[in-house]
Amino acid sequence: MGTFESDDETEMTIGAKRESTTQAGAAASRHHELRSRQDLERALQESRESEARLRKIVDTITEDRKQTEAALQWSTALLAGEKRVIEMIAQGEALPHVLETLCQVVEEQSSDILSSCLLLDAHGTHLRHAAAPRLPQSYIEAIDGVAIAPSGGSCITAAYRAAPVVVSDIAVDPLWADYRHLPLAHGLRACWSVPIISLEGQVLGTFAMYYREPRSPSPHELHVLEQIASLGAVSITHQRAAEKVRQDERELRQLIDFLPQHVLVLDKEGKLLQANKTMLDYNGYTLEEMQGAGTQERIKRDLHPDDLERANSERSAGLSREVPFEIEKRLMGKDGRYRWFLFRYKPVLNEDGHIVRWFATATDIEARKHAEDRMRNETVALREDIVRSSMFEEIVGSSQVLRKILEQVSMVAPTDSTVLILGETGTGKELIARATHNRSKRAGHAFIRVNCAAIPPSLIASELFGHEKGSFTGAIQQRMGRFEAADGGTIFLDEVGDLPAETQLALLRVLQEREIERVGSVKPIPIDVRVLAATNRDLEEAVADRTFRQDLFYRLNIFPIRIPSLRERADDIPSLVEYFVERYAKKAGKKIKNINKKTYDLFQSYEWPGNIRELQNVVERAIILCDGETFDVDETWFKRENRQPSGPTVALATALEKREREAIETALTNARGQVGGRKGAAAKLGIPRQTLESKIKTLGINKFRFKTR
C-alpha cells in the first residue's frame, strides 16, 4: 500500500508538475504571443513611419524636381529673352518695344504673372509707364507719373531705396497703406519690385511682378527678378546711349549744315562721300547727283577752266602725300558764276595710322581775293599819291570863296550823290574830292583815283572795269578793275572829259545800273561805288562839240562844284605860302622864322596861271636856295609874266600879246565862255578849238569868268 501510495503521490506529483508545466507553458506562450504582437505593432509603426518618411522624401524630391524644372524653365526663358532683347537692341528697335518684349518674356512663364516696367523721368523724381502687357489700362494710367518716396507701394519705394521691395499681400502690408485701394480694385494682391540700376549705380526705373493671390517669392524667383532688371538696365542704357549718339549726330549735322563753309567727307582715294547743306545749296545739286557725276567729271563741271589743271595737280599731290594740304580754286555756283574758295584737306587715320577718310572744308575767299586785288590797286594808287604828295595835304585858306566851297562839300559829302568838280589845272580838285570822301559814310573804305587822261584809250576800259583772261592780247590772267577795287568806297575820275566815246557809254551804264562788265565777259558784276569826277575842260562846250555824251554829262553834273583859281582867292596866298614854307623847311631840315613883306606882295601880285601847284613849286625851290632864317624869292622868277618892254621887238611882242588877249576875251564874252561849237569863241575867231584852248592856257585866261549862270 505504501508503495502504491507512493506511486500515486508520485503520479499526483508528476501530474501536478505536468499541470504546472502546462500552465507555465501556456503562460509563456501567452507572454510570447503578447511580445510578438507588440513587436508586430512596433514593426508596423516603424513601417508606417518609414513610409511617411519615404513619402516625405519623395515629395521633397518631387518638389525639388519641380523647382529645378521651373528654374530650368526660367533660365531657358531668360536666355532666349536675353537673346531676343540683344537682337532687338542691335537692330535699333525702339526702347518701348524692347521693354514690352522683356515683360512678355516674364509673363510667358505663367498665366498668373503680370509684369510692369516703370522709368524715372529726366528729373529722377517721378516714375513713368514704359511697358505692362497684361496690367489693366486703368491701373497703368493711375500709377503713371507717381513720385518716388520712402514708402507708398513696391515700385515707389524700390526706386527711392534703390533696393528690392517684396510685398506678399498688398491687402495687409503697411507699405501700401495709401495706395492699396488701386491694386485691390484691379484684383492684384502681391507685388515684387526691384530697381533697374545702371553700371554707374544710377536708378533708371523699376521692374515688378504682380500676382492675383498673396504670394511670397522663392530665392530663385527673386534672382530671376533681379536678372530681368539687369537685362532691362542694359536695354535702357544702350538705347539711351544710342539715342544720345543719334542726337549728337543730328546736332553735329545741323551744326555742320549751319556753317558758312563747305564741308566734305572723302574716302581715302578722294571720292566724295558726304557734303553739307551749304555746299549743296551753292552748287544746286543733291548729294546723289554730286556723287553720281564721279570725281573727275564733277571737278571738270564745277571748276573754273583756268584752275582745272593746277587744282587737279595740287589735289593729286596732296592726297598722295597723306598730310594736310590747301588749295585755292574757283567753283561755279548754281547761278553760273565762279567764286574763289580755299580748300583745306585733313586726313583721318585709324589706329594703325592708315588713312580711312579725308575731311575737307571750303571757305569762300572771294572777298579776300577782291581785297587782295583792291589792295594791289590801292598800292598802285598809294604810289601815285606818294608821287603826287608834293601837291598838298590840307585845304588851306579862309577866303569867302573857299568857305563857300567847303560849305558845299559839307552838304554833299554825307550823301551818295555824284559830284562833278570843275576848275583849272592845279586848283586842288582832287583835294576837294578827298575831302568829300573823308566826310562821307564811306570814309572807312577805299578812295581810288583814276587819271583818265593818263591812260591810253585802248586800255582805259580794262583799267576801269577789269578784264578776263584772254580777252585781248596781253591779258594773261583775270584782272580786277578800279571800280571793283573801289567797291564800298569812292572812285575819283580825274580828267573825266578826256574819256573816249565808248568808255563814256560804259561809264553811263555803271552810273545807271550800278553794275559793271569786265572786258571779255558778259556777266554783270554789281558794285556799290560813289563816283566823284573832275575836269578842267568845259563839258558843256564838249557836249555842244559832240565830243562828250550829253546823257553822261547830266549824270555827272548832279552836284557841280567849281573850284576858284588862285588869283580869284588871292587873300589865301599868305596862308598858303606860310603852310608850304613850314612844310618844305621841315623836309629840308631848315629853320625859317620870317617871311618878308616884299615876298608876300610879290606872291600876291602874280597871276599864278599854274595855280596852287605852281605856288608850291616856287616855294619848294626857294626853300632849297634859302641859306638864312628869312624866306624870300628871286624876283626874276616872275619876270616872264611881269617883264617890262626893253626895246622895239619886246614892245611889239607885248602889244601883240595884249591884242591877242583882248580878242580872245572879247570872243569869250560874246560866246558866254563857250570855246567850241558853232557859237563858240573859236568859231568867232576862225581858229580851231584846240588852238584856242592852248592860247587860253598860255595867256592864263580864266575862261570860266565869262560864263553866265
Q: Is residue 214's pLDDT more than 90?
A: yes
At 391, the pLDDT band (50, 70, 90 cuts) reads very low
What pLDDT, on a 0 to 100 scale, did the predictor assign at position 607?
Answer: 86
Q: Extract the C-alpha cell encoding 648.
A: 622895239
Q: Is residue 323's pLDDT more than 60?
A: yes
Neighbours of 408 (CB within 10 A): 17
Whole-model pTM over 0.75: no
Alpha-carbon distance values, 537 to 201, 369, 422, 547, 567 (Å): 92, 37, 8, 11, 19
Q: Extract the C-alpha cell encoding 546.
A: 559832240
Say if CB 569 and CB 615 are below 8 A apart: no
Q: Say what angle helices 597-605 and 573-588 make with each other, to 10 degrees.
A: 120
What are the residues facing 360 on neighbouring strands?
264, 345
User: What span, in angstroms and rounded, lies between the C-alpha atoms of 259 and 340?
Assistant: 17
Residues 38-53 as b/e (b if ≥16 CB within 10 A, e otherwise) read eeeeeeeeeeeeeeee
Taking alpha carbons only, the member of 524, 526, 552 closest to residue 540 is 552
Neighbours of 708 (CB within 10 A): 6
Q: Which of 158-162, 175-179, 316-320, 589-593 has the highest mean pLDDT?
A: 158-162
Q: Is residue 481's pLDDT more than 60?
A: yes
What pLDDT, on a 0 to 100 scale, did the predictor assign at position 261?
Answer: 83
Q: Which fold has domain 256-364?
A: Beta-Lactamase (3.30.450)
Say if CB 119 and CB 130 are below 8 A apart: yes
- CA dihedral sign, ordered 664, 666, 672, 678: negative
Q: Which of 204-208, 395-399, 567-571, 670-674 has the highest mean pLDDT?
A: 204-208
- Percent pLDDT > 90 in the chain is 24
User: What span, in angstroms and rounded, lies between the C-alpha atoms of 378 and 371?
Assistant: 10
56-108 tens-digit pLDDT:
766 666 665 665 666 566 667 677 777 787 788 777 788 889 899 889 888 88
What pLDDT, on a 0 to 100 scale, did the predictor assign at position 292?
Answer: 65
Taking alpha carbons only, the member of 447, 377, 406 closest to residue 561 is 406
* Cα angle: 277, vertex 279, 280; to 5 degrees: 60
Q: How many CA atoms lie within 13 A of 61 on its CB side?
A: 6
Dihedrals φ, ψ of 341, to 5°?
-135, 145
What long-range pairs does 234-241 form, CB within 8 A, spacing at least 24?
234/85, 234/89, 235/85, 235/89, 235/95, 235/98, 235/99, 235/102, 236/95, 236/99, 236/119, 236/196, 236/198, 236/204, 236/205, 237/198, 237/199, 237/204, 238/89, 239/89, 239/94, 239/95, 239/98, 240/95
At 695, the pLDDT band (50, 70, 90 cuts) reads confident
CATH class, domain 644-709, is mainly alpha
104: Cβ contacts below 8 Å, ≥ 6 apart: 133
> Helix %, strand %, coil % for the chain, to 5?
55, 15, 30
Q: How many CA atoms lie within 13 A of 413 on its CB side?
A: 18
What pLDDT, on a 0 to 100 scale, did the predictor assign at position 651?
Answer: 55
H-helix segments, 208-325:
219-258, 277-283, 287-292, 295-302, 305-321
At 184, the pLDDT band (50, 70, 90 cuts) reads very high
Q: Which of the listed CATH numbers 3.40.50.12780, 3.30.450.40, 3.40.50.1000, 3.40.50.150 matches domain 89-240?
A: 3.30.450.40
User: What span, in angstroms and rounded, lies between the C-alpha atoms of 184 and 142?
Assistant: 13
251-270 tens-digit pLDDT:
767 767 777 788 888 888 88
Q: Which of 98-112, 461-475, 590-604 has the highest mean pLDDT?
A: 98-112
User: What span, in angstroms and rounded, lies between the C-alpha atoms of 640 and 656?
Assistant: 16
* Cα angle: 262, vertex 342, 481; to 5 degrees: 115
What pLDDT, on a 0 to 100 scale, did the predictor assign at position 136?
Answer: 94
At 654, the pLDDT band (50, 70, 90 cuts) reads low
Q: Extract the C-alpha cell encoding 489.
A: 568806297
Torsion of CA 286, 349, 245, 252, to 10 degrees: -50
Residues 233-247 as b/e (b if ≥16 CB within 10 A, e otherwise) read bbbbbbbeeeeeeee
Q: Is residue 1's pLDDT more than 60?
A: no
Range from 9-23, 127-141, 465-479, 497-511 carrying the lowest mean pLDDT: 9-23
Say if CB 481 and CB 527 are below 8 A apart: no
* Cα angle: 139, vertex 142, 143; to 5 degrees: 90
Say if CB 572 and CB 398 are below 8 A apart: yes
Q: Say what angle helices 219-258 and 95-107 make with each other, to 10 degrees.
A: 170
User: What span, in angstroms and rounded, lies between the C-alpha atoms of 118 and 109?
Assistant: 21
Q: Extract the C-alpha cell encoding 409.
A: 562839300
Q: Extract the C-alpha cell encoding 392.
A: 598838298
The per-residue pLDDT of the chain, averaged, comes to 82
Say if CB 144 and CB 165 are below 8 A apart: no
169-178 tens-digit pLDDT:
999 999 999 8
Domain 369-564 superfamily per CATH: P-loop containing nucleotide triphosphate hydrolases (3.40.50.300)
**What does the DSSP 8-state code read for residue 303?**
B
